[in-house]
Every structure is written in C-alpha cells, then in structure tokens.
C-alpha cells in the first residue's frame, strides 16, 4: 500500500516555520572607546581639538629629587628668580566613519517581521562603526614609548606587573585605577601563569588575592570582555589588538583610563565632531531604501608616559 508523505506532497507542506527573530553574528566587543577621555566639539567651528599639557618645572619623576634639591631653596632678603611656566600642545583632527546598507522593498514587504529586520540592520551598522573606532584606538598602543614583553614569548606575570608599576614610577596618578587591554592570547598567557603547576605558581597562588589582587572578572569576560582583575584593576581581552614584528607578536597596553578623577593623566582621548547620524534615502529606480550611518571622530594619544605597550608572542 502506497503511503503519502511530505516528499510526495511537498508543495503543500512548509519545510520550516520561520521565527520572527535574528540571532546575532559573532563579533568582537566594542569596549575600548569608553576608556578614552571625550572631547565634544559638535557644532563648534573647528575640525579638531588642541589640549594644553603643562611642562614640568620640578625635574623628572623618580630622579632622586634632582629637579628640586636646590632650585627652590630660598634665602632671607634675597629675590627669588622667576620660573617659567610653559605648556605643550596635543592636537587631534576628526575623521569620518560611515557605513551604508540597502534594503529592497520586496524584502521589507515579504519579511516575517520587517521591524525586527530593520532594527537588526540598524544595530549592525552601529556595531560596525564602534568596532572601527575601537580598532583605531588599539592601533595607538604601538605608539606608546614605554614597553614590556619579549618578542615571540608568552606574557609573564612579572612583565604585566612591570607595566602597571612603571606608570606610577613615571609620575602618573590614577585615583580610579589603571586598565589593561590585552590580546586574547596575552590574557591566556597570564591566566596560565597564575594557575600553572610550576614553582612560580606556588608563589603567586598565595599572593593572588593580596599583593597581585588577581581574580576572575564578572562572567569571565563573556559580558563585556572583562576577563580578570590584576592588582585590583580590570583586564579586558580584545581581538582587535594589532600585531607587530611581522605578525610574530601581539600589542596590548596598560594605561590610565578616563574617569572624573583620572582625566588629568588619561592616556587616550577621543574628539567627537559629529554624533552618529542615521539617514534614509529612497532609491526609486532600485525599489530600495538606503540606510546611511556616519559620524566624525578621532581617537588620539593624550599622554605618552601614562601608558605602556605590552608586546609578546602571538
């Protein structure tokens, strides 16, 4: 006896019932731009910003007091000589970022849920631009003049510790703490060093919750890339960190992030000239709608010595 099946009657049976939902694509996390000091020049008659940085009148940090040992000694009834106050300027010029997507009339008319599709396209465009800005910020790490790490070798606990302590000994202050943005490989290196079964781990294991203040981040980085704490400061894992030395190394950084208390020493800044602007344009001949999202911004380095690049093997 012949049995009728969905194969024989395939014109009458839907293969799938499409749900009105779209799953997110795998993506890096846009997490670095909030760590930059923001300079808003929207509606200002300028293409960029200039920020004054005071020059030191007391020598250099960690110089044993050489810049103040006799320079400010005073003698009764003797005129003091004038000390010149001067500044250096840091400048940045805004650049344009943009993305366009076109959606056909037929797609919107026939989609299971056109609003879900439209919202997903918009959020995808925003995410693309935020990642582009983050990528440009990560590219600034290689420009920092101080560095830790060994080319072609794993990042060690001692090297990361040196990156943190060096910022302090160079005379910088960060009341709200420092931050590390490392490549995923560098994060793996540090976690492996802290949990390793060698003699070093026996030392660090007892110190992790005290001197090193190392601990897992919230949700182990699965929420916003915050992988762990080191010396009580957040460590973020990032897949946008540039490579160096013919792609043999990754370049991360430890630096002073922007906060109300840290801003006088913040390492990176970002000038915003045009806030994100989403516009639509009807293309009648194509029977489609163009969606165009643009902004004008530029990340830049504010203070070189308040950051330290971390260069280690991939």
Q: Does residue 206 register a pLDDT over 70?
A: no
Kindly tell me the number of DSSP H helices and DSSP E strands found in the chain: 5, 14
Q: How confident is the model at residue 214 (pLDDT cuts 50, 70, 90)?
A: confident
How far, in Å, CA of 102 to CA of 28, rounded? 24
Q: Determine contact, residues 265/305, Cβ cutoff 8 Å.
A: no
Cα 108 from Cα 45, distance rounded (Å) = 40
Tokens encoding 57? 């009148």
- 201: pLDDT confidence band, cut at 50, 70 and 90? low
Q: 3-state DSSP: the chain helix, strand, coil percent, rounded to 5?
A: 25, 30, 45
Decide the pairing of beta strands 226-230 and 233-238.
Answer: antiparallel
The rounded distance, in Å, linking the Cα atoms of 179 and 230 is: 9
Question: Residue 141: which residues within 8 A CB-CB, separation 6 or more?
Answer: 181, 241, 242, 251, 252, 253, 307, 309, 310
pTM equals 0.89
Residue 204, pLDDT above cutoff 60: no
For residue 81, the SS3 value is coil
Task: Tell me the mean pLDDT in the region 248-254.
Answer: 97
Whether pLDDT at 260 is above 80: yes
Label residue 198 by pLDDT band (50, 70, 90): low
- Domains defined along the chain, listed by start: 33-53+90-313 (3.90.1690)
pLDDT digits (tens, 9 = 90+) for 36-71: 999 999 999 999 999 998 999 988 898 899 989 888
Check residues 196 and 243 and name the one with the higher pLDDT.
243
Maximum C-alpha span of the chain: 122
The whole-number pLDDT of residue 23 equals 86
Above 60 in pLDDT, residue 208?
Answer: no
**Cα→Cα distances 203→105, 157, 198, 231, Å:** 65, 11, 10, 15
pLDDT surpasses 70 at 270 = yes
Instruction: Compute CA 278 distance to the chain's CA centroid, rounded to the nearest angstrom.
Output: 24
Which residue has 């760590």 as its token pair? 35
- Whether pLDDT at 281 is above 70: yes
6, pLDDT greater than 90: no
Question: Cα-flanking dihedrals φ and ψ of residue 156, to 5°?
Answer: -105, 165
Q: For 122-163, what is each residue's pLDDT tens digit?
A: 999 999 999 999 999 999 999 999 999 999 999 999 999 999
Q: Residue 205 — pLDDT band, cuts 50, 70, 90?
A: low
Q: Share the mean pLDDT of the chain.
A: 91
pLDDT at position 19: 85
């Amino acid at each position: 006896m012949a049995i009728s099946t969905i194969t024989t009657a395939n014109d009458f049976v839907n293969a799938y019932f499409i749900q009105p939902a779209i799953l997110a694509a795998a993506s890096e996390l846009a997490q670095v731009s909030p760590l930059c000091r923001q300079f808003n020049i929207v509606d200002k008659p300028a293409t960029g910003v200039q920020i004054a940085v005071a020059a030191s009148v007391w020598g250099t940090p960690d110089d044993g007091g050489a810049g103040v040992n006799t320079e400010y000694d005073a003698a009764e009834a003797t005129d003091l000589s004038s000390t010149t106050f001067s500044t250096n300027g840091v400048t940045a010029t805004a650049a344009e970022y943009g993305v366009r997507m076109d959606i056909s009339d037929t797609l919107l008319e026939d989609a299971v849920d056109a609003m879900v599709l439209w919202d997903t396209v918009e959020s995808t465009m925003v995410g693309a631009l935020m990642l582009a800005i983050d990528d440009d910020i990560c590219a600034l790490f290689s420009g920092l003049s101080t560095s830790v790490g060994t080319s072609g070798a794993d990042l060690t606990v001692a090297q990361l510790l040196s990156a943190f302590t060096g910022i302090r000994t160079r005379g910088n202050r960060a009341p709200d703490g420092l931050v590390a943005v490392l490549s995923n490989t560098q994060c793996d290196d540090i976690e492996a060093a802290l949990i390793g079964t060698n003699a070093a781990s026996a030392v660090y294991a007892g110190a992790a919750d005290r001197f090193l203040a190392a601990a897992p981040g919230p949700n182990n980085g699965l929420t916003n890339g915050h992988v762990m704490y080191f010396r009580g400061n957040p460590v973020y894992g990032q897949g946008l960190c540039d490579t160096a030395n013919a792609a043999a190394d990754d370049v991360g950084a430890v630096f002073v992030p922007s906060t109300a208390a840290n801003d006088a020493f913040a390492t990176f800044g970002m000038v915003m000239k045009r806030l994100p602007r989403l516009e639509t344009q009807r293309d009648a001949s194509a029977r489609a709608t163009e969606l165009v999202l643009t902004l004008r911004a530029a990340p830049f380095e504010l203070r070189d010595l308040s950051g330290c690049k971390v260069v280690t093997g991939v």
